[in-house]
Amino acid sequence: MSPRSVAALLLAGLALGACGVEGAKLAGTEADPDNRTVTEKDFDPKGNFSAPTRVDNRWHPLAPGTQFVFEGRSNRGLGPRPHRVIFTVTGLTKRVDGVDAVVLFDRDINRNKLLEAEITFFAQDDDGNVWNFGEYPEEYAEDGSFDGAPSTWLSGRLGAQAGVLMRGDPQPGTPPYMQGSAPKIGFGDTARVVHYEPRHCVPVGCFENVLVVDENNPLDPGDGHQFKYYADGVGNISVAPGKGGKEREILELVKVQTLRPKTLAKLDRWALRLDRRAYRTVKNVWARSAAAKARG
């Protein structure tokens, strides 16, 4: 079945963007500095996650059934090639490091071939900050066969810790923050709020007061920097290469849609298969984790 467009979501993002960054602040943001300067050091799984799967952060909302489709180009060693990434907010959750997290399922397609299928885990704290709890990214060879999942990590396992994916009230000039830490696999993505761009256009539309974040991994300097652009009420709308790096990935949001229940159920089953497979392929990380399940 064909998905239904969520033009209303985009219109909401445009409307909020038109209000300006100051004019559209959520209630309580100015009274609570925690969502401006929070870092990975503030992680408190026992005292600050009363409704973790309700992710309504204005810069990174995750409504179940929403799908984001990005298209662009990247260089995976054979020169720039067409690149497509499809993110789906599933109807699943998984308990990680004491917190129930939303399960995202994404597929990375290069030259019309599936190179990676991944489940990731995000949760929102009581201050509106969105946290990254880990990932299981399956990699596939050119012939489609499973090629391992070496970049797997889960907060609370093997020295890994959750990080801040998006602050509740991101502001330029504030300290950088880690988006997750897994030293055993060399993962230590760090983000810094750069500025708010007055206007930024992608295929789905033009947005005002767009948040720009600079990301890099200090544990892998050769990977370079990457700029991500976020629209108020929508989320990530584009990705552009920064200094360094060889992949030089460029992505733009070409479609946002709410999936029909049957389509979402099919993708949920695919994501559950990945979660089950992880207990076999990365036992040292997954063995003691709770299985992903449908939202209660």
pLDDT of residue 77: 64
* pLDDT value of residue 142: 87
φ and ψ of 51, to 5 deg = -140, 65
Q: What is the pLDDT along the chain (296 residues), one digit of tens a residue?
A: 333 433 444 434 433 333 333 333 333 334 355 788 999 999 999 989 999 999 999 999 999 999 999 999 987 666 778 899 999 999 999 999 999 999 999 999 988 899 999 999 999 999 999 999 999 999 999 899 999 999 999 999 999 999 999 999 999 999 999 999 999 999 999 999 999 999 999 999 999 999 999 999 999 888 889 999 999 999 999 999 888 767 778 999 999 999 999 999 999 999 999 999 999 999 999 999 999 999 98
Q: Answer yes or no: is 295 within a domain.
A: no
Classify residue 294: in a domain, yes or no: no
What's the sign of the alpha-carbon dihedral 262, 140, 123, 10? Answer: negative
pLDDT of residue 32: 53
Considering just the CA atoms, what is the radius of gyration of the chain in Å? Answer: 18
**Domain containing 9: what range?**
4-287
**293 inside domain:** no
Return the C-alpha torsion angle 122, 275, 294, 7, nearest 10: 50
Output the CA–CA distances (angstroms, integers) from residue 249 to 7, 78, 219, in the order listed: 27, 13, 19
| 194 Cβ neighbours under 8 A, 6+ residues apart | 172, 212, 213, 214, 227
Q: Is residue 116 part of a domain?
A: yes
Neighbours of 260 (CB within 10 A): 14
Tell me how many domains the chain contains.
1
Could you tell me if residue 64 is inside a domain? yes
Closest Cα partner for 215 from 179, 246, 181? 179
The dihedrals phi and psi of 291, each to the nearest 5 degrees, come to -70, 145
pLDDT the model gives residue 220: 86
Q: Quick check: is 60 in a domain? A: yes
Say if 40 falls within a structural domain: yes
Q: Can you give the pTM of this predicted structure?
A: 0.88
> What pLDDT does 296 receive?
80
